[in-house]
Amino acid sequence: MNVEYVDAIGYGAAILTTLAFLPQAFKVLRTRQTRDISLLWAIAMTAGVFLWLCYGYASGSMPMIVANAVTLALLLAILGCKLYCK
């Protein structure tokens, strides 16, 4: 497959899986309800996305750094509410 097509698929994937966390974080911050969200999911995703951020930094990939920094901030909001919102 053409390299530009492959890159475009990768950028589309990165944009979707990053922006996806915007409505989820807004929902959690608005409702303060996280009962249906798994704590293990929130912890593992936060740790995993932090490692993706380190991987992006170590590889010198600015798109990975930006995408994972945004996702990490949104995940921290979700995890914080899961732990502290009552």
Residue 85 is given by DSSP the state: -
- Asked whether the beta carbons of 27 and 80 are under 8 A apart, the reply is no
CB of residue 40 to a second copy, shortest distance in Å: 4
Measured from the CB atom, the residue of 6 and 62 that comes closer to a second copy is: 6
Q: What is the largest CA-CA distance in the chain?
A: 51
Rounded CA separation 82/19 (Å): 20
Task: Indicate whether 63 belongs to the interface with a second copy (CB under 8 A).
Answer: no
Question: Does residue 4 touch a second copy according to CB under 8 A?
Answer: no
Kindly state whether residue 62 participates in binding a second copy, applying the rule CB under 8 A.
no
62 near 9, Cβ under 8 Å?
Answer: no
Residues that bind a second copy (CB under 8 A): 1, 5-6, 9-10, 12-17, 19-21, 23-24, 26-28, 31, 33-38, 40-41, 44-45, 47-49, 51-52, 54-55, 58-59
